[in-house]
């Protein structure tokens, strides 16, 4: 491309008088912006402070700090209002209930007596379920429940636990049911469906039959987490026995009322 094709009008004339010739000094004056010896006087319209693109970039940099400022503003209580307690990310807050004197309390105890206990156990992840069973049997023995009063119903997996619990509860031979199993998260949504349905199904079995059903199903991310929680079998037994004793007291108080 020749100079005559690139520079229109007067700029083309300044670039060169002769045909096909280009004055390098004129070309430099046309192409390069006017710059004084003092660099502070440099004036480039493309770098003007009023450039909206530059303003957008500056606004974006300021917005990077905005979420943190907004979070701080939300966390700070309004003047005169008490500070909100921080949410606990993990763990529990143990402690007994404080009930004033003079109020009737109906509370069960994890005692065996002559109560029959049904245990429905999932064979899937059997290594973990076996450890849950061990802790459950040890707790039943401590509570005074004889082996002749215990019935174990194995089922294929955690998804079948609700059906097994419902079947045991409907026989009316057991004061409570203990459901034991383990669901370990994998790479798909299978975990969510099985764990969720197991929990809701066991609750439904208790609600429909009126027989306490204790949830002793581990829902964990790794096998190591499951192994560290094998004592949940004993915890489920204590829960089931306490609820069974509570229901027995409630029935007895209703008869004498």
Per-residue pLDDT tens digits for 143-167: 999 999 999 999 999 999 999 999 9
List 171, 186, 190, 252, catalytic entry = 190
Total H helices, total E strands in the chain: 10, 4
pTM over the 0.75 mark: no
Q: Report the C-alpha gap between 226 and 207 in whole angstroms.
A: 28
Span 167-201, pLDDT tens digits: 999 999 999 999 999 999 998 888 998 999 999 99
Give the mean model confidence (pLDDT) for residues 220-226: 94
Q: Report the C-alpha gap between 133 and 140 in whole angstroms.
A: 10
Task: Compute how many other C-beta atoms are within 10 angstroms of the C-beta atom of residue 207.
Answer: 10
Q: What is the mean pLDDT of the chain?
A: 77
Provide the pLDDT confidence category of residue 80 given band limits of 50, 70 and 90.
low
Q: Report the C-alpha gap between 38 and 189 in whole angstroms.
A: 67
Q: Is the pLDDT of residue 91 over 80?
A: no
Residue 176's nearest CA partner among 254, 235, 253, 236 is: 236
Q: Is the pLDDT of residue 205 over 70?
A: yes
Residue ranges and CATH numbers for the domains of the chain are 1-37 (no CATH), 117-256 (3.40.50.960)
pLDDT in the model for residue 82? 53
Catalytic site residue 92?
no
Q: Is the pLDDT of residue 14 over 60?
A: no
């Amino acid at each position: 491309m020749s100079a005559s094709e690139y520079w229109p009008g007067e700029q083309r004339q300044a670039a060169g008088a002769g045909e096909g010739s280009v004055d390098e000094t004129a070309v430099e004056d046309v192409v390069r912006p006017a710059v004084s010896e003092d660099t502070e006087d440099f004036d480039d319209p493309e770098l003007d402070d009023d450039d909206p693109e530059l303003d957008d970039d500056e606004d974006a940099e300021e917005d990077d700090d905005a979420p943190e400022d907004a979070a701080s503003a939300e966390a700070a209580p309004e003047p005169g209002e008490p500070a909100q307690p921080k949410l606990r990310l993990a763990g529990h807050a143990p402690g007994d209930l404080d009930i004033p004197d003079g109020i009737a309390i109906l509370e069960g105890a994890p005692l065996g007596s002559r109560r029959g206990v049904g245990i429905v156990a999932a064979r899937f992840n059997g290594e973990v379920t076996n450890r849950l069973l061990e802790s459950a049997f040890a707790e039943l023995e401590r509570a005074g429940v004889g082996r002749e009063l215990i019935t174990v119903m194995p089922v294929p997996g955690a998804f079948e636990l609700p059906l097994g619990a419902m079947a045991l509860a409907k026989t009316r031979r057991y004061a409570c049911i203990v459901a034991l199993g383990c669901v370990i998260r994998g790479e798909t949504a299978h975990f969510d469906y099985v764990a969720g349905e197991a929990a809701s199904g066991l609750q439904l079995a208790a609600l429909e039959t009126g027989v306490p059903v204790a949830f002793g199903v581990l829902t964990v991310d790794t096998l190591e987490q499951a192994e560290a929680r094998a004592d949940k079998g004993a915890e489920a037994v204590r829960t089931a026995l306490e609820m069974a004793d509570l229901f027995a007291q409630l029935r007895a108080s209703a008869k004498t009322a």
